[in-house]
Amino acid sequence: MRLLVTRPEPDGEHTAELLCAQGHEVMLAPMLRIEAIPDAEFGAGPWAAVLITSANGARAMARHPRLGELLALPAVTVGSRSAGAAHAAGFTNVESAGGDGEDLVRLVARRFAGTTKPLLYPAGEDRARNLFGDLSRHGIPVETAVVYRAVKAVQLPADVETALRDGRIDGVIHFSQRSVETYLECARQLRQQALAPVHYCLSERAAGPLRSAGAQKIVVASHPDEAALLALVTPRP
């Protein structure tokens, strides 16, 4: 199949490599560009741990001038991809929830029950989940530091636009609601062609704007991680 990956770089390239290894032809159209905020401010601590909910958060912290203050702390991550990014940033005590946001909340609530020190949460400007609120309900204090932003694309790459217009895209891979919304905005001049392929979505939240727009072929991963999403894509014979 010819597939379009809308994931931001560098993760989009990683996803493309996995799909190419399955025998697919892949085009890239990152709908968001991740920018670290190197002067992001946060308190003096002490903290109980660092919460990492995405590889983007870990990469942004890797470039932060105060990273050295944090590396001795436990890093608790949502899944294997964010755990790998935490290790790459220099954290050595890394524990992964091995799943999604709900799994992370359960792990942190169990692991840090009764803590009086806050957990430092390096986050993006736009967050799909209110982790602060979720953990506060368990009595876990959290300090959020906004360390990166996701900047929306303003247009599709010319080759992708042509491929959509000509009906040469079989499927589109979506990892987030915001990426989907940006894809629909960028493709507003060829709405029907953009909705026509099969849309493979990481979650129901990501699928929501496509359903609202009238897309008929939507498939949602059984679990919100890359492996489950790519398992939906049938390898080419």
What is the average pLDDT value for the chain, to the nearest integer?
92
Q: Please give the distance of CA 224 from its chain centroid, rounded to a whole number.
A: 10
Residue of 151, 152, 148 whose CA lies nearest to 125 = 148
What residue has token string 């946001």?
101
- The pLDDT assigned to 38 comes to 85
| Domains observed in the chain | 2-31+153-231 (3.40.50.10090), 36-150 (3.40.50.10090)
pLDDT tens-place string over residues 147-179: 999 999 999 999 999 999 999 999 999 999 999
H-helix or E-strand spanning residue 123: strand 119-124
Residue of 16, 227, 50, 35 whose CA lies nearest to 144 = 50
What residue has token string 């959020």?
144
Q: Bridge-partner residues for 192, per DSSP?
A: none
H-helix or E-strand spanning residue 4: strand 2-5
Which string of b and e fits 89-122 if b means at least 16 CB within 10 Å? bebeebebbebbbebbbebbeebbeeeeebbbbb
Judged by DSSP in three states, 165 sits in helix
pLDDT tens-place string over residues 38-56: 889 998 889 999 999 999 9
- The pLDDT assigned to 59 comes to 95
Q: Sorting pLDDT into bands at 50, 70 and 90, what band is 129?
A: low
Judged against a pLDDT cut of 80, whether residue 231 lies above it is answered with yes
Give the best-scoring range by mean pLDDT among 67-76, 106-115, 134-143.
Answer: 67-76
Task: Name the amino acid, one letter, at 59.
Answer: R
Judged against a pLDDT cut of 50, whether residue 236 lies above it is answered with no
pLDDT tens-place string over residues 200-219: 999 999 999 999 999 999 99
Phi-psi region of 225 (alpha: psi -120 to 50; beta: other; left: phi over 0): beta
- The pLDDT assigned to 108 comes to 92
More confident residue, 74 or 99: 74
- The pLDDT assigned to 126 comes to 84
Judged against a pLDDT cut of 70, whether residue 237 lies above it is answered with no
pLDDT tens-place string over residues 104-117: 889 999 999 989 99
Judged by DSSP in three states, 174 sits in strand
Judged against a pLDDT cut of 70, whether residue 220 lies above it is answered with yes
Judged against a pLDDT cut of 90, whether residue 134 lies above it is answered with no
Q: Sorting pLDDT into bands at 50, 70 and 90, what band is 3?
A: very high
Backbone angles phi, psi at 4, to 5 degrees: -110, 125
